Structure 1
Amino acid sequence: MVQMHGFFLLPANLTRAKKDTGDARAFSFLQILELMPFLLKPPSLLFVENVVGFETSDTHAKLIEILDRTNFVTQEFILSPLQFGIPYSRPRYFCLAKRKPYSFVNEVWNRQLIQSPRPLYEHFHTAVIEDDSSQEDRHKLLQSCQPIESFLELKNPSNNIEVESATSLTGLSNGNPRTLGEGDDDVCDTSQQYYVPLSLVERWGSAMDVVYPDSKRCCCFTKSYYRYVKGTGSLLATVQPKKRDKASLKEQCVRYFTPREVANIHSFPEDFKFPDHISLKQRYALLGNSLSIAVVAPLLQYLFTTNL
């Protein structure tokens, strides 16, 4: 029987530093690694998650070195929800580790960096990793995803909303790339709070990632989503334009995904709810720092499947 399990979650922006082991945010993780050889009852299973790029860092090298030294076998993955039929581009690094005599059911993947979910489902026979990097494979991957509309809370946005009214409801007319909620923590009940001001569309439209209900992909939501419009996640066009281009954004009534919709895209269960006292900004921040259940659940199931 497994005596103890470990779960490590590293800082998401750790690998941006040139010397990541010198980053103070990595200190606690490195301390845990250094202590592992001296534990009387070391964990039998480990699960590590980080951003893509961690696999080339010196902190990663330290992780693998210590796991090897403490009798662990590893299988590493880079996976995205897109590979599980979810229209969400959020690739992340994962390391699964088991301490001997425990072993993975398919040992052919040991000490490999895997970029396919196939080993999670084909437990009991060997397989060859296919190259998913070609344009044709990426197209097939996107086509296999569910459309964005399957995850929407506000499924029937009105096409009669005047663009000017959406602007006035946000209460912002300056060019600062911020939106309603920057100085107000109250959670508003009206869906109109999610519409992006025209001033921001005019200034930052060229940098926005805009998707549509029938889209098969959206960008990663960050903890700054709803506070800033540039580089924090996709926006949804609620009015179908004749031509989907940046020139017509002002007529598309662009809005933010609601927290419930972001949770849906993260594959959170339907009964998931935030406590009432959690503000709108805090909800987005927590969701931006969360994990995709569609990816993590099969990884954990695979990790807990053992030959012993």
Structure 2
Amino acid sequence: MKHYALNIAEISAKVVCAFDVNMIANQVYEHNFGHAPSNKTIERLTAKDIEKYKADCWLLSPPCQPYTQGGNMKDIDDPRAQALIHLINLLPKLEKPPNYLFLENVKNFEESQSREKLVQQLREMNYQVKECLLSPIQFGIPNHRLRYYMMARRCFDSQQIDEESGATTATADEGQIHTKWPFNSEYQFEVPELCQFIENTANENLQYRVPEKDILKRHKFRFDIVRPNDHKTSCITKAYGSHHLQTSGSLVQTQHLDRVEYDWSDPKSLLELGLRFLTPKEISRLHAFPMPEYQLKPNHSSLTKPRSFTPPHCLPHLEFPDPVTLMQRYRLLGNSLNCWVVAELLRCELF
């Protein structure tokens, strides 16, 4: 998804290599971009391996399990954190470290030892570090997906002094976690209604209908039910579309749209609402992937000020190969980032 974000940001960049051990994700990547990512594990990379790519920027998405309740929050003691720790240890050994680094992870990463170790190494190597906790809602997209983001830019002697304050740029944002977008601004983007992202034709498709048995067995559980005129959906996880309805994402109400109050003690009454899952295409739209139905438009963007959200139109569009099943699509999208959020942070803050 960060490759898509580079395209959406309209940054002149070439991805020299992508790494992923998920075979299905690699299949989708190759289908869309024409070449397969490397499935070599990060822990096996040497300084020589990395330097042969001559990469000026690293875009990182370390496994989130070491920093979540579900993963027991073992942090640096979790084997899944070792890939990031390995890269941190390799950084000072590189003859030409990357000038730019972008990292995303779940909320709680900002309080981790992994983050502390990374920030310490970056500052020792004279990187300017910016950090934030942001959700697509703040960018004008009706989906809540709070994520931690770090942007780091390597500073050189001529860049180290801020002309106004006299402070070194490497310490200008030290310790600050931005929670507003745009940073240090009270401006808020308007969030459109969900109807601009959903397909009415999916309402009658039984493969997206929530099974009655999964609704009836959850007495007094409050599902996140959304209607077409709503302006927010909840975070979609990799369990979306399965029987794990709790906190896996929003369910779309397709019938009795005037009903906004629900009797949670009577699950049977919810069956009248025609609840369905969001389709993979709808989730892809909410994650701001370029989609085939969006027409290609000429490039007129040259400013670095934050933009109001518009559906991305750049190529390639996101398409799933036919062998990728519905559940595999849900899992991949549940693990995905919001492409527009990443694009705007790359465009306005990192580059």
Q: Report the TM-score, using the length of structure 2 for normalisation.
A: 0.67
Letter in structure 2 aligned against 1:211: V
2:144 to 89, 113, 116: 89
1:288 to 329, 334, 340: 334
1:115 to 176, 179, 187: 179
Mapping of residues 5-44 of structure 1, within 5 Å:
5-16=57-68, 17-44=72-99
Please tell me whether the aligned partners of residues 73 and 103 of structure 1 are also in contact (alpha carbons under 8 angstroms). Answer: no
Distance in 1, Cα, partners of 2:332 & 2:261: 31
Distance in 2, Cα, partners of 1:192 & 1:72: 52
1:268 aligns with 2:268: no
Residue 18 and residue 224 in structure 1: after superposition, are their counterparts in 2 closer, same or farther (change >3 A)? closer
1:207 to 206, 219, 222: 222
Distance in 1, Cα, partners of 2:258 & 2:344: 40
Letter in structure 2 aligned against 1:147: E
1:61 to 116, 124, 138: 116
Matched residues, number: 255
Q: Report the TM-score, using the length of structure 1 for normalisation.
A: 0.76
Please tell me whether the aligned partners of residues 202 and 208 of structure 2 are also in contact (alpha carbons under 8 angstroms). Answer: no
Letter in structure 2 aligned against 1:55: E
1:196 to 194, 199, 210: 210
Letter in structure 1 aligned against 2:218: W
SS at match of 2:328: helix
SS at match of 2:217: helix
Mapping of residues 292-303 of structure 1, within 5 Å:
292-303=338-349
1:235 aligns with 2:299: no
1:49 to 96, 100, 104: 104
Match of 1:225 in 2: 240
Offset, 1:18: 4.1
Offset, 1:116: 1.2
Deviations 1:108-127, CA, capped at 9 Å, x for gaps: 962221111214xxxxxxxx
Q: Which has the higher contact order (CA 8 A, sep 6+)?
A: 2
Please tell me whether the aligned partners of residues 255 and 274 of structure 2 are also in contact (alpha carbons under 8 angstroms). Answer: yes
Match of 1:164 in 2: none
Cα-Cα RMSD: 2.6
1:147 to 193, 203, 221: 193
Distance in 2, Cα, partners of 1:20 & 1:3: 28
Offset, 1:154: 2.7
Match of 2:271 in 1: 250
Letter in structure 2 aligned against 1:56: E
Match of 1:178 in 2: none
Residue 201 and residue 246 in structure 1: after superposition, are their counterparts in 2 closer, same or farther (change >3 A)? farther
Please tell me whether the aligned partners of residues 62 and 83 of structure 2 are also in contact (alpha carbons under 8 angstroms). Answer: no
Distance in 2, Cα, partners of 1:36 & 1:193: 48
**Gaps spanning 5+ residues in structure 1: where?**
120-127, 133-139, 159-190
Letter in structure 2 aligned against 1:231: T
Distance in 1, Cα, partners of 2:249 & 2:338: 15
Extract structure 1 runs of 4+ deviating beyond 4 A.
102-109
**Gaps spanning 5+ residues in structure 2: where?**
1-53, 264-268, 293-317
Identity %: 33
Deviations 1:80-137, CA, capped at 9 Å, x for gaps: 0000111101010000001112679995962221111214xxxxxxxx455x9xxxxx
Letter in structure 2 aligned against 1:11: P
Letter in structure 2 aligned against 1:110: D
Distance in 2, Cα, partners of 1:226 & 1:103: 50
